[in-house]
């Protein structure tokens, strides 16, 4: 019988930088990031909600960074 040594799996840690873009100003990586409390960014989402472009639920998800 062959004596096979079980290989230990490699653990590769991958950390992406928090990315804020014009299309996605709210990050989903760090809930403590200041983007989630930025009054200017929040007011833009609020205006979109008032204009009927998004629902209140969608506005909340956008600010939480939980949208695509």
Span 28-47, average pLDDT: 91
pTM: 0.68
Convert the pLDDT of each residue in 4-32 to its tens digit.
778 888 777 767 666 788 888 998 878 88
| Cβ(23)–Cβ(65) below 8 Å | no
| Cβ(54)–Cβ(45) below 8 Å | yes
Nearest to 18 by CA among 67, 68, 65: 65
């Amino acid at each position: 019988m062959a004596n096979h040594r079980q290989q230990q799996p490699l653990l590769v840690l991958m950390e992406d930088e928090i990315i804020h873009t014009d299309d996605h100003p709210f990050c989903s990586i760090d809930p403590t990031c200041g983007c989630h409390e930025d009054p200017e960014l929040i007011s833009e989402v609020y205006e979109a909600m008032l204009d009927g472009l998004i629902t209140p639920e969608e506005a909340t998800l956008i600010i939480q960074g939980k949208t695509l």
